[in-house]
Structure 1
């Protein structure tokens, strides 16, 4: 570069003259790269031309192959996704109840004493195609159709809170919820008697085999648990008196002094039921006892066994504390306690049951159900009978998503 500086009256004027001869001959690195690629492409084109094939045709073929493979993969992924989704919907949706006598009764049910004549409690094909399940319907009388809602989905045990008022036994959670038409007889004993009467129609009086409520498994019994809310001795005596007609027909499971003699109906006392009242019941003697105790699962001893007890139960929340049961379910140490209690009760011949299972969040409840099932719980105590009996709740949580 040459620099010329000229002085003038107004200041110094600077003129810069660039000689570009050297710059024009220099090529940047990137430009050289592109030039090299261009020369390579030209040589390839000349070579392909000499061989009689065009590079554009080959490029087009490769693009078409790529698009075809991508399209096939996307199609397979789309079909697989929708197939899995459809399968989940089928498995998690409530199953369609079989059309039988029970579903007809549930559809037509009205509260006892509100219409005359009363709707029947039994219809032909009563429990056809219903598979009985080891599930206990907690507070069954709260359902829209007590007893029959549970029977219609295969529940094998129901629980009724019993209040003795005068000479009558009313069913309800609290005193203020009792109603004249909702008695132990009207909600449970009358329909159960009609069911067993029809299920055993045609059998000789001396026939030792008795049919239960389940058409697919007539020898399987049904559990009726009475949670006594008033004074234990008097209420239990009143309950047993109302069970006289079942006793006379040989429909109650009983202890004969040596073995358990199974019947279509098994009665368990809990709540205010005194253990002493079970042992000294006026309806029992050394060779007969048809009421069984709900033994304390968290305080078992050899005093509770198959001669006097059937269930062995405790509150899960009371056992561990509601604040100590995490959302993810029972902890390893808690599961260890559950296994220990179940093993002890099983060795005594008793059926285990945990009540007061956290109901919320739903995924916590579902997880605990699964954990209890894996621990081989004897009877799953539930309030949500539709979910427990009719849905595959083991698949409710998939990839962290709660689907139920």
Structure 2
């Protein structure tokens, strides 16, 4: 058989392998959490272009406007949740006919860390989001962005006071009722509560066992897990993926995505 004919026979398999690898890599990039995303050179877009599945924004309510900043003194006119995140997301969903990415049905969560008190901050946020159910309500559009509230949160008994599309970031180690758990999308904790590992070499076995137990227990509840303040290296990402950690904190969206496509 001629070499050309052999290549023609192999080509469909090669294409299938490449497609399979692409889909696998995309499933891994969705495990990236763009920590303090607003500090990127291109907020939102760096994470979105690299298909990270979680994007974090800290907000302050000042004179009924939701500003994006880590500290109150960093609040700057024009740097708002609307300008950096909500408006670009709405425009994308309009262009993509209700999808985060035009080529597939993947989506992401917007983890909004309330820095100012929950009242009135969360009420102002709900007011801004309500007109766009196709973009922010997964009961209306399964591919919508999931809004998850962290930072200043209402008491768990008060979760039910807010619309169903508002989800919450729970605390690892805290006990929740079944009704409260229904409103929680993920459970989070500081990595330093369980390990002092710096991301070099192998994760110490004792720490690995502690983290694995937490991941397994969280998954048994049907929830995802995230550790903030964790090492942000390729070596760490690989071991966190092996542990089954759902959202892996990173300040390097592009590098994280490139790492996923190498796996």
Regarding TM over 0.5, the answer is yes
Gapped regions of structure 2 (runs ≥ 5) = 1-24
Task: For 1:251 and 1:180, locate their aligned partners in 2 and report how far apart those are by CA, in whole Å.
Answer: 25
User: Shift of the alpha carbon at 1:392?
Assistant: 5.4
2:36 corresponds to: 139
Per the alignment, in what secondary structure is the counterpart of residue 189 of structure 1? Answer: helix
1:265 is the counterpart of 2:145: yes
Deviations 1:290-322 (A, max 9, x none): 1111111233545476521111111101333x3
2:223 corresponds to: 350
Of 190, 194, 201 in structure 2, the residue corresponding to residue 328 of structure 1 is 201
1:385 is the counterpart of 2:253: yes
Matches within 5 A, 1:116-195: 131=26, 133-195=30-92
1:197 is the counterpart of 2:94: yes
User: Shift of the alpha carbon at 1:239?
Assistant: 0.9
Of 280, 296, 300 in structure 1, the residue corresponding to residue 161 of structure 2 is 280
Per the alignment, in what secondary structure is the counterpart of residue 55 of structure 2? Answer: strand
Of 330, 339, 359 in structure 1, the residue corresponding to residue 212 of structure 2 is 339
1:232 corresponds to: 118
User: Shift of the alpha carbon at 1:383?
Assistant: 1.1
Q: 1:329 to 1:179 in 2, by over 3 A?
A: farther
Of 85, 95, 104 in structure 2, the residue corresponding to residue 217 of structure 1 is 104
TM-score, with normalisation over the residues of structure 2? 0.81
User: Shift of the alpha carbon at 1:327?
Assistant: 4.0
Task: For 2:86 and 2:199, locate their aligned partners in 1 and report how far apart those are by CA, in whole Å.
Answer: 41
Task: For 1:154 and 1:228, locate their aligned partners in 2 and report how far apart those are by CA, in whole Å.
Answer: 24
Deviations 1:116-155 (A, max 9, x none): xxxxxxxxxxxxxx94522111100001111111111111
Contact 2:58-2:115 at 8 Å conserved across structures: yes
Larger Rg belongs to? 1
Gapped regions of structure 1 (runs ≥ 5) = 1-129, 201-210, 360-364, 396-404
Corresponding residue pairs, total? 236
User: Shift of the alpha carbon at 1:394?
Assistant: 7.2
Contact 1:159-1:226 at 8 Å conserved across structures: yes
Task: For 2:203 and 2:261, locate their aligned partners in 1 and report how far apart those are by CA, in whole Å.
Answer: 17
1:375 corresponds to: 243
Structure with the greater relative contact order (CA < 8 A, sep ≥ 6): 1 or 2?
2
Q: C-alpha root-mean-square deviation of aligned residues, in Å?
A: 2.5
Matches within 5 A, 1:388-403: 388-391=256-259
Matches within 5 A, 1:75-154: 131=26, 133-154=30-51
